[in-house]
């Protein structure tokens, strides 16, 4: 059986892509990272635990992608540019094929975002994957949760709800045909973090968050931290292409509270609408205006005609497992 050091050397050691930014990567007691002058470090960790965040038999390449994607999504939500990340890994066995596929999925996404694996820790134990990611953002320009202002528009990148649709399909809460389930499943297993959009929104957007637990909950964090409220048009929400084929009784709750979307929810003043659209077009990421921040605390939902809807919609109890 290969030693821990063989595994690290074989799967997780590559020369840093830019010696000015990462003077020292994997192999020493610490990595050395040098953010550019005038930049603040943006740091975030996400842990993925077998049975809780992914299925026991998950495809290792997809898992490698997703572990890094959820961390990149946090940088995106701050408007930060990725620099590098560390990987703390507990493994039940030293399975070379599994590690090759896992590292392949993870490092392909790292390459796509010009980001280095700079260190980590490897130990035996129940499968558990913790990534800490480091990014940089010009001082004072991070997109913070506490920066929404009354009167701001609320925007969503991409589409919502297809990952939740896939979960409903896997759990047999609803019947999906195999092709639709597979397409929706891509959204769940292969999230595409909106890293370019986050950076393009610096100086335009006020507050931002990435939608990992569902729009209602995640927007709620912005409202709470900013001391404001909001009104959302449930029918304006951009449903994913698979979810869009379903009736509104399913579309609304899955788009409102689905989770695992990894889209950005951000606020920007109405005067910045054209700038938001230009920034989004530049990154090739569609954005949709779905509501408005107002001074009265709490979240209100309306339909396309402005008629109030119950927030109960977002809890979709009728889909809870028996």
Alpha carbons within 13 angstroms on the beta-carbon side of residue 257 total: 15
Rounded to a whole number of angstroms, the minimum distance from the CB of residue 31 to ligand ADP is: 6
From candidates 33, 89, 127, 184, binder to ligand ADP by CB under 6 A? 89
Residue 253 near residue 319 (C-beta atoms within 8 A): yes
Residue 26 near residue 107 (C-beta atoms within 8 A): no
Rounded to a whole number of angstroms, the minimum distance from the CB of residue 118 to ligand ADP is: 7
**Is there a binding annotation on residue 213?**
yes
Cα 80 to Cα 191: distance, rounded to the nearest angstrom: 18
306 burial level (CB within 10 Å; 0-12, 13-18, 19+): exposed
**Is there a binding annotation on residue 153?**
no
**Is there a binding annotation on residue 210?**
yes
- Residue 122's binding partner among ligand ADP, Mg ion, none (Cβ under 5 to 8 angstroms by kind) is ligand ADP
Of the candidates 68, 83, 66, 32, the one whose C-alpha atom is nearest the C-alpha of residue 185 is: 66
Q: Does 122 bind ligand ADP (CB under 6 A)?
A: yes
Token pair 């842990």 in the structure block, residue = 47
Rounded to a whole number of angstroms, the minimum distance from the CB of residue 199 to ligand ADP is: 26
Q: Does 134 bind ligand ADP (CB under 6 A)?
A: no
**Is there a binding annotation on residue 271?**
no
- Residues 109-128 touching Mg ion, rule: CB under 5 A, are 121
Structure tokens at 132: 């800490």
Q: By C-beta, is 89 or 239 nearer to ligand ADP?
A: 89
Of the candidates 150, 244, 149, the one whose C-alpha atom is nearest the C-alpha of residue 206 is: 149
Q: Does 98 bind ligand ADP (CB under 6 A)?
A: no
Rounded to a whole number of angstroms, the minimum distance from the CB of residue 29 to ligand ADP is: 5
Cα 162 to Cα 279: distance, rounded to the nearest angstrom: 25
Residues contributing to the site for ligand ADP (CB under 6 A): 8, 12, 26-29, 87, 89, 117, 119-122
Residues contributing to the site for Mg ion (CB under 5 A): 121
Summarize the annotated binding site for Mg(2+) as residue ranges: 29, 44-46, 74, 121, 210, 213
């Amino acid at each position: 059986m290969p030693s821990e050091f063989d595994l690290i050397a074989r799967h997780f050691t590559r020369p840093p892509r830019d010696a000015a930014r990462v003077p020292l990567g994997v192999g020493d007691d610490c990595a050395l990272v040098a953010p550019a002058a005038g930049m603040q470090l943006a740091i975030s960790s996400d842990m993925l635990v077998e049975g809780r965040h992914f299925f026991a038999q998950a495809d290792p390449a997809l898992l490698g992608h997703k572990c890094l994607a959820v961390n990149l999504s946090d940088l995106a939500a701050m408007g930060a540019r990725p620099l590098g990340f560390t990987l703390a890994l507990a493994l039940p066995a030293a399975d070379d094929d599994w590690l090759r596929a896992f590292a392949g999925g993870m490092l392909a996404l790292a390459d796509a975002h010009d980001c280095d694996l700079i260190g980590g820790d490897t130990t035996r134990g129940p499968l558990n994957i913790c990534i800490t990611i480091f990014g940089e953002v010009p001082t004072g320009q991070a997109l913070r949760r506490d920066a929404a202002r009354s009167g701001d528009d609320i925007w969503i990148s991409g589409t919502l709800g297809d990952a939740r649709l896939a979960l409903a399909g896997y759990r047999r809460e609803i019947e999906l045909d195999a092709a639709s389930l597979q397409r929706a499943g891509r959204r769940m297993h292969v999230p595409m973090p909106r890293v370019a959009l986050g950076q393009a929104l610096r100086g335009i957007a006020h507050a931002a968050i990435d939608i990992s637990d569902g729009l209602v909950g995640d927007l709620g964090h912005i409202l709470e931290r900013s001391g404001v409220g909001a009104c959302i048009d449930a029918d304006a929400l951009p449903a994913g292409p698979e979810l869009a084929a379903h009736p509104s009784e399913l579309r609304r709750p899955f788009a409102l509270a689905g989770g695992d979307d990894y889209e950005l929810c951000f606020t920007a003043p109405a005067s910045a609408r054209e700038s938001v659209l230009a920034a989004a077009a530049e990154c090739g990421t569609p954005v949709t205006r779905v509501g408005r921040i107002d001074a009265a605390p709490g979240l209100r939902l309306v339909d396309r005609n402005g008629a109030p809807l119950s927030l109960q919609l977002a809890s979709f109890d009728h889909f809870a497992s028996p």
